[in-house]
Amino acid sequence: MPALSKRELIVSHALHLFYRDGFNATGVERIIKEAGVSKKTLYNHFRSKDELILATLRKRDELFRNNIIRETERLGSDPQERLLTLFDAHHQWFQEKEFSGCMFINASAEFSAQDDPCHIICAEHKRLMRDYIRGQAELAGVSHPARLASQLNLLLEGAIVDAHVSGNKDSALMAKEMAAVFVERALAN
Amino acid sequence: MPALSKRELIVSHALHLFYRDGFNATGVERIIKEAGVSKKTLYNHFRSKDELILATLRKRDELFRNNIIRETERLGSDPQERLLTLFDAHHQWFQEKEFSGCMFINASAEFSAQDDPCHIICAEHKRLMRDYIRGQAELAGVSHPARLASQLNLLLEGAIVDAHVSGNKDSALMAKEMAAVFVERALAN
DNA sequence: CTCAAAGTATACCGATCGGTTTCTTTTGTC
DNA sequence: GACAAAAGAAACCGATCGGTATACTTTGAG
């Protein structure tokens, strides 16, 4: 059994290329070339490019949430702190050289229809992120955890867009300051 | 002189198709078919598809800002009010049936490189939006208008993404409530 | 009316698209 | 060592891509 199965190999290269160049702009030929596998192998593991895209988005969701949550919890030791260190974790992400925005926002741009399978996965990812925040908010004992989660989530989305489109790499720090206001208010009530 | 020149005709149809289906997914053949012009006419007016995309983004910037500012100022009679009716104008936009997110966020997803001409136009559009907010903030006499403008802009970006990716059509209303907090604080100091 | 500019229609270009097929080689298992 | 599954290499498919060329028609200004 290889350290990385062919399937995982393909997905990992697809991840990189789709993220950097977009989905429609990246051909399967390019992916197999980078991954060093034959076209037949790709189509042995995936019925179509669409299916590969779906698998890639699912993998990205898994990797991204694991990473961002790990960093958030490394930087903050209790749930209340983590509501804010989540923004520090995003700040770190924005500083990465390969940063190209949120892959799910990007995918939603190319697969705009709400009922597109890709778009559905994107919405699901955003829901899971918000669920994590709400969980921490509940543990922190704030008054309306779901409401606070929606607010902080909106701030994160805004910071991501500002960092990517406008190149404002400090957007997460401003968003964090703004978030602190709402965390404070949610704890006060 | 026709009511709509061929050039404007092409751009208006390109606007619709690029917005709905994306840039790489929309071929020139499709555009000329919808616009009812020949391929030669398109290439008489634009050197390449890339140039058409740039012209389309510039037109979108002009139309969008005109519309959103007009609505904002129709709903709010003084600068302080307009800092919040800007969110109502966005709310109206989100309710439109053809709403597919922000065309500039979408374009930045497909043209991810910071120095891509398309990406530069997107950043410029965002700067102009923020400039408008800052202008209103200055007129309203807040303490740090540029800072408030960045904050409100971030809230708007977040609301747009939430509305498009997650289909939360009320995101602008929540963003407006959040914005009110910062407007109040900027007026108090 | 004239004449050039601008438009249409259509065929065409090489390249690439997503996807299939054929045949050979490698690989892991009993 | 035998054998089936998996992978590789490469040709091939029809369709579409962005863009050009040709030949004919419309149109608007002097």
Helix (H) or strand (E) holding A99: none
When pLDDT is averaged across residues A78-102 and rounded to a whole number, the result is 98
- Å separating the CA of residue A1 from the C1' of nucleotide D2: 21
**Rounded to an integer, what distance in angstroms lies between the CA atom of residue B92 and that of residue B71?**
9
Residues belonging to chain B with any Cβ–Cβ distance to chain A shorter than 8 Å: 20-22, 24-25, 100-101, 104-110, 112, 114, 119, 122-123, 126-127, 150-151, 153-162, 164-167, 171, 174-175, 178, 181-182, 185
pLDDT by residue (tens digit) across B113-158?
999 999 999 999 999 999 999 999 999 999 999 999 999 999 999 9
Return mean pLDDT, chain A. Answer: 97
Distance from C-alpha of B175 to C-alpha of B156, rounded to nearest angstrom: 7
| Sequence-ordered list of residues with C-beta below 8 angstroms from that of A89, at least 6 positions apart, any chain | A68, A71, A72, A75
- Which pLDDT belongs to residue B145? 98
The pLDDT value given to residue B2 = 60
pLDDT at B189: 78
Using one digit for the tens of pLDDT, what is the confidence trace for B25-42? 999 999 999 999 999 999
**pTM score of the predicted model:** 0.96
Residues present in chain B in total: 189
Q: What is the pLDDT of residue B184?
A: 97
pLDDT category at B1 given cuts 50, 70, 90 is very low
| Per-residue model confidence as pLDDT tens digits over A137-176 | 999 999 999 999 999 999 999 999 999 999 999 999 999 9
B167·A24 Cβ contact <8 A = no
How many other CB atoms are found less than 10 A from the CB of residue A188? Answer: 8
For B153-176, how does the pLDDT look when each residue is reduced to its tens digit (9 = 90+)?
Answer: 999 999 999 999 999 999 999 999
